[in-house]
Amino acid sequence: MKVSIIPSDKTIIVDGQALTFDYDIDPTIHALQWDGDSGEIEYKDGTANEQFTDSTLVDSLVSAYEDEVERLEAEAQANAQAVVDEAEALEAAKTYADHRRAEYPTWEDQFDDIFHNGIDGWKATIQVTKDKYPKG
């Protein structure tokens, strides 16, 4: 697993997938790189870069990254479900008149129907929608 951590941007990149969120880290660290076996810490206070092989710091930050990914996925799923619930509620609240209005042909098409098929042809066209969505 390759990890890059850029505290000033609040960004952690794990295997090429970046995520920006709040996490705690030593404020003197400019960046941290980890290649799976070893890493390097770059400091912003002039301290020489430090090589390291103990993954404890990286593991804790990757754990925070994974927790944030999980939180964001759960939030997205909840938001998607809320949209579905709202759409279903709006659909359920529609009256027969709402359904008819949505399905009737436009006025122009109805006039064209009358012109080509007469009043009885037009009535037959309209009756299909009326039968599909009866009053009450």
For 50-84, give the secondary structure using H, E and C: EEECCCHHHHHHHHHHHHHHHHHHHHHHHHHHHHH
pLDDT for 136 equals 76
Q: What is the mean pLDDT of the chain?
A: 96
Residues 85 and 112 reside in one and the same domain? no
**107-109-111-117 Cα dihedral, nearest 10 degrees:** -150
Q: Are 109 and 125 found together in one domain? A: yes
Whether 86 and 31 have beta carbons less than 8 Å apart is answered as no
Calculate mean pLDDT across residues 49-60.
Answer: 96
Tens of pLDDT, residue by residue over 79-93, are: 999 999 999 999 999
| pTM of the full structure | 0.69
Q: What tokens does 103 get? A: 């399905």
Domain count, the chain: 2
Residue range 7-47, pLDDT digits in tens: 999 999 999 999 999 999 999 999 999 999 999 999 999 99
Domain hosting 127: range is: 95-132
Percent of the chain with pLDDT over 70: 100
28, 44 in Cβ contact below 8 A?
Answer: yes
